[in-house]
Structure 1
């Protein structure tokens, strides 16, 4: 079944049944927070008006598990109230059901548009993105920040692997495949002996070597390659609908700053143009690498 949404389009609810059934990992939370930070969202108020605020974060709990304290109906919440004000703890989903706006997906998280001290939770299914907003590369952070936001801690990865192993063990036991194939699947992780070698020194164009550190991180800013090559024949394949030419120009500029000679790409393949001849990139330049 489906229903008419606020834009008058048919929305099939069954398409979203499995969304957020499993809790979001902390790395996924960070990615969402970094990408949608300060993006304007809107939701309809009970009086029919639209309210707009900036996205701050996504709640870790679902609407039916996220609760807050509110004044009971019929109570006075003013400075001159006589005696203590009666309050109650209510979940977000129950609050909206009480106001005649029952949630279709109460297991979905909420969008927090408030501050850390005073959060304001809006059910995700009631929100929409304001049209006409543009996201630049600077808005979503640098490459290093994006990598940091998407990383997973070892303990978190181990927990995910254990959960997957338990599901596999359960499936093997139910299907009796273990006895048929004489296969045993363990839930516990194995410990192996190993040794850690020191990271290698990296030689570049200058008379010195670069030590990348224990974390394996370094930067090419202000560094040229020891023996830069001449890139003569290459092409670009893009699966994105957005134009790829600014990226190509930036890439060429980064290679040239490292001492390489780069010829223009032979072809640039994009979804809207199966074959496009190279654009004149001989001027170099471009953005940062």
Structure 2
């Protein structure tokens, strides 16, 4: 890992060739080179995945009894070499990324600063919201440990998140509010209330869309991870879903009554819902 630079473990960017970009070929050498222009953009499905991992990581860490990385543990590493797992949106697109960063911790009464390798003055402040994990040391062993932990958390998300399209919404069944049909479509999204921090990793378990509406209104059960929000059933307009929303096509359909049970308050209800949505491994 280069000094002063983090290793990007996961990001939410996608590259697509510019439709009108002309490729050119250099023929001076026996092996010709082709060059083309690409457009960089944020993939909503990838952004939803990174955001969900940020929420799932501490929940799974507690269930798996990984060594905690709270303020007391970080304070004990003051001045030591550490490798830190961070969530970051510090790019021009504000796209979520998971970074591994090696450095030394410098902790005072008000802040925790990570000084990258080779730097003694310019560092990155570690906030509770963005600091997912930290392990002592630099090099391959701590990087591999954190990478493996992220892979285990990623495996909690059923299948590969896919973009949410209008065609998919139109394919959901028509339902009447109050019906007991199964939840056949699962959305991975973010929920936000005015003046409050957004909650990532929310699950909309969709029964279908309501008829006789001017716009597409979806009915189902909203499951939220532990936060200031509460899980509930109800409706949401498709236009109100944030751009960083993905569909989980591999998720198992759940009876509406079972989905409602997961909306009941409980310390492990959210993780239990993910377990139920994950198809059995073959």
TM-score (norm: length of structure 1): 0.22
**Structure index of larger Rg:** 1
TM-score (norm: length of structure 2): 0.22
Give the structure with the higher percent strand.
2
